[in-house]
Amino acid sequence: MNETARQRDTSDPSDPRAQLIRSHWDRDGYVFPIDVLNEAEAREIRSDLEDAEAAVRDDAELTEMVRGYTNLMLPSFASLVRHPRIVEAVKPILGPDLLVWGCSMFIKEPQTRSYVSWHQDLNYWGLDGDREVTVWVALSPATTESGCMRFVPGSHKTPDLPHTDTFARDNLLSRGQEVSVEVDDSQGVDIVLATGQASLHHGHLLHASYQNRTDDRRIGAAIRYISPDMAQTSRARTVVTLVAGEDRFGHFELAPAPTERLSPLMVALCRDAIARKSEILYRDAKEQGRRRVV
């Protein structure tokens, strides 16, 4: 944590919950479960997402926006990324000023081969530090059978491991990237979440997930929180949203919250955001393949 960020960290050090979150984060690189939504609230948000998916199913570009920039396209997700229970869980790690660098859906259809290979997120996001927290919110049960995430405890302490692009057909990652060193799968911990619960994980934590063997979709919203003192190494001004505190650095372009579903204004903003982020996520990629900007 740099000095500026340390001065802004106003979380109460005597708060037992904040202490517990920080302790688990420092030791393991993840925290779970965090209760965010009740089942009825989660079902309502899921229904809004699936209604939007149905409305744009014949438009590949809009489908990419709904699934890859969900908080900019749907007011329900703009509220989710600002949910007080999430914000209060992230503040002990990043402090009071929070930007959302991205919000995207990881969806595994029933009885399909989709998976996520072992990888580290920050390896390919082009950010100049590691003051980032991914909050993964389960909008359906995340179980071993449905392909919940698996974390290797403490692996966030070995940042920047080499990765290989596979562009594998069933890999949900943007480049099908996977870590180039052998991972002992027996060390992995299943991150089982009930509908409406969330997990937090570090951008250098090794994580993966396997196939969905159930008859329901496995739906998770991955919300990427960063501290405003971060920046893209390329100094590109990618599109973010301010969800708590203030941005005193101006390293990114701040997007407004959507006031309606699938608004033309936000579609135009997302089109620009996709172009900017693609330059970062696919930098030095040896194959263009199937692109997924998340």
Instruction: Kindly list the domain boundaries of the chain, sorted by start residue.
Output: 30-281
Q: Which of 116, 144, 123 is nearest to 222 (CA)?
A: 116
The phi and psi torsions of 107 (rounded to 5 degrees) equal -120, 125
CATH 2.60.120.620 fits 30-281, yes or no: yes
CA distance 183 to 69: 31
pLDDT of residue 291: 46
Burial class (CB in 10 A: 0-12, 13-18, 19+), 75: middle
Helix (H) or strand (E) holding 94, with range, is helix 84-94
CA distance 178 to 278: 19
pLDDT of residue 12: 62
Q: Which of 262, 155, 280, 147 is nearest to 224 (CA)?
A: 280
Residues of the chain with confidence (pLDDT) below 50: 1-10, 289-294
β-strand partners of 253: 239
pTM for this one? 0.91
